Amino acid sequence: MSDIPSTAPQRNIWLRALLMLLMGIGFQLAATLLGVLAVVQFVLALVSTPNARLSQFGRSLGQYLRQIAEFVGFATEDVPFPFSDWP
């Protein structure tokens, strides 16, 4: 039997499962918030012009969703916000 050494630091799989569950809940909340933001921006576009700050927040929220998807999909070991900086 040969043991293949791991190049990545080994994290407790149960801790990762808990973090993945929390990040999945966070993903759902952030996606809902992004949907609300899209509706607000659409209404603002009908009335006047879209809000620049909301546009920037929407962009960073999209990056956050990407980070969660990468973590949950095992593409990275970096745990997203609130365990690291906001994108």
| pLDDT tens for each residue of 68-77 | 999 999 888 8
pLDDT for 21-65, tens place per residue? Answer: 999 999 999 999 999 999 999 999 999 988 899 999 999 999 999
Q: Is 14 domain-assigned?
A: no
CB 87 within 8 A of CB 65: no
Candidates 84, 86, 68; CA nearest to 28 is 68
Q: Is 15 domain-assigned?
A: no
The number of domains in the chain is 1
Q: What is this structure's pTM? A: 0.76
Task: Look at residue 5 and give its three-state secondary structure.
Answer: coil
pLDDT for 9-22, tens place per residue? Answer: 566 888 888 999 99
Task: Look at residue 2 and give its three-state secondary structure.
Answer: coil
HSE-CB at 6 with a 13 A cutoff on CA atoms is: 4
Q: Is 83 domain-assigned?
A: no
Q: How confident is the model at residue 1 (pLDDT cuts 50, 70, 90)?
A: very low
Q: Is 27 domain-assigned?
A: no
* Full domain range(s) for residue 61: 37-77
Q: How confident is the model at residue 3 (pLDDT cuts 50, 70, 90)?
A: low
